[in-house]
Amino acid sequence: MPIRQLPDTLINQIAAGEVVERPASVVKELVENALDAGARRIEIDLEEGGIRLVRVRDDGGGIPPEELPLAVSRHATSKIASLDDLEAVATLGFRGEALPSIASVSRFVLASRRFDGDHGAALHVDGGRIGEVAPKAHPQGTTVEVRDLFYNVPARRKFLRAERTELGHIEEWLRSLALARPDVELRVSHNGRPARRYRGDLVSEGGGPASTDRLLETLGEEFAKHAMRVEHAGAGLRLHGWIAQPVYNRASADQQYLYVNGRAVRDRNVAHAVKQAFADVLFHGRQPAYVLFLELDPRTVDVNVHPAKHEVRFREQRLVHDFVYRTLHAALAETRAGAAVEAQP
């Protein structure tokens, strides 16, 4: 075959392979867009575990009608304009890839009205084929509807699991989001029934991005009861959040939430530091439970490691590791000292 330029739709479908693994990835990308748009209230309607439908409606800033086609075009973003912006990126999105990728593997509708717009508009995209922008009544904010995920990519559709499993992945991701944003209300419905509601008025003590009420809503009473507040800053780093007292521990790493500059990530380096801090106080094979927020100069952390942005790279990995280890080790030593005092007659 001669070398040829691939059509846009196919390019988007290939990119979708990285960005969109399952309905939970669609929910993640759409909700992150809503948050980037300043939404305070987000409604998520799901059908059949999100396979049949994911609809996300927000009350954020909206998109003007003339920009709707751009929003579904590849590498089009309102969030960065230069390499400098990328290095200090504060939004969850910046690649301009999610909407075109999702729209290329679903039946997709984007409807929006700008906060300063006098009418709304909608744009349909079917399997990557972009329609015409048409006027449509819409309150301020944006609604994205994604139907029949992977309907045109049978090889991917085969990998989707049962409705329950897909719903579980969505719920887990929403839990992690809810922990980071107690200021945003999330309402979830599944198959037409209200499934979950996270309140948006949970103000946190100490200005942290989560609150003990949120811990209760997301991780349950036992975690909340054993949660110890962590707060420490130094050397340009800040670590805050909660660790569960060692008596509350887990068989698996299912309650380990880490956020770097507000973004939920997995990081082996930090996970290792936490594990080491707990090494003396947990039985072998048991896992600590924690919700930790690490804040640092965005210029010292690369978030552009993978299209799905589950990972970051620290410029000073050792420094981060030691900071996390020392902070948690000290916090745990304090509780042990406290427990020893209480145990005295």
Residues of this chain that interact with Mg ion (CB under 5 A) are: 33, 93, 98
97 contacts which partner out of ligand ADP, Mg ion, none, CB within 5 to 8 A by kind? ligand ADP
Show the binding pattern over residues 290-309: x = contacts ligand ADP (CB under 6 A), - = does not: --------------------
Q: Is residue 64 within the footprint of ligand ADP (CB under 6 A)?
A: no
Residue of 24, 27, 98, 260 that binds ligand ADP (CB under 6 A): 98
The contacts found for 274-282 with CB under 8 angstroms, 24 or more apart, are 274/243, 274/324, 274/325, 274/328, 276/325, 276/329, 277/324, 277/325, 277/327, 277/328, 277/329, 277/332, 278/246, 278/328, 278/332, 280/332, 281/246, 281/332, 281/336, 282/246, 282/249
| For ligand ADP, the closer CB: 71 or 244 | 71
From its phi and psi, is residue 206 left (phi > 0), alpha (psi between -120 and 50) or beta?
A: left
Residue of 9, 55, 94, 293 that binds ligand ADP (CB under 6 A): 94
C-alpha 256/C-alpha 243 separation (Å) is 9
Q: Is residue 77 within the footprint of ligand ADP (CB under 6 A)?
A: yes
Closest by Cα among 159, 130, 135 to 51: 159
The SS3 of residue 72 is coil
* Minimal distance, residue 27 CB to ligand ADP, in Å: 13
| For Mg ion, the closer CB: 98 or 292 | 98
Q: Which residue's Cβ has the minimum distance to ligand ADP?
A: 93
C-alpha 66/C-alpha 94 separation (Å) is 20
Residue of 51, 71, 146, 160 that binds ligand ADP (CB under 6 A): 71
| For ligand ADP, the closer CB: 93 or 128 | 93
C-alpha 73/C-alpha 77 separation (Å) is 9
The tokens for 128 are 């990557």
Q: Torsions phi, psi of 101, nearest 5?
A: -65, -50
Residue of 16, 63, 153, 328 that binds ligand ADP (CB under 6 A): 63
265 contacts which partner out of ligand ADP, Mg ion, none, CB within 5 to 8 A by kind? none
C-alpha 322/C-alpha 60 separation (Å) is 39
Question: Quick one: which segment of 70-78, 116-124, 247-255, 288-296 binds ligand ADP (CB under 6 A)?
Answer: 70-78
* Minimal distance, residue 249 CB to ligand ADP, in Å: 37
Neighbours of 189 (CB within 10 A): 16
Q: Is residue 33 within the footprint of ligand ADP (CB under 6 A)?
A: yes
Question: Quick one: which segment of 26-34, 164-172, 241-249, 305-313 binds ligand ADP (CB under 6 A)?
Answer: 26-34
**Residue 268 CB-half CA count within 13 A:** 0
Q: Is residue 61 within the footprint of ligand ADP (CB under 6 A)?
A: yes
Whole-number CA gyration radius for the chain = 22
Question: Quick one: which segment of 58-66, 158-166, 228-236, 251-259 binds ligand ADP (CB under 6 A)?
Answer: 58-66
C-alpha 258/C-alpha 291 separation (Å) is 6
Question: Quick one: which segment of 92-100, 186-194, 204-212, 302-310 binds ligand ADP (CB under 6 A)?
Answer: 92-100
C-alpha 162/C-alpha 208 separation (Å) is 37
Chain residues in the site for ligand ADP (CB under 6 A): 29, 33-34, 37, 58, 60-63, 71, 77-79, 93-99, 142
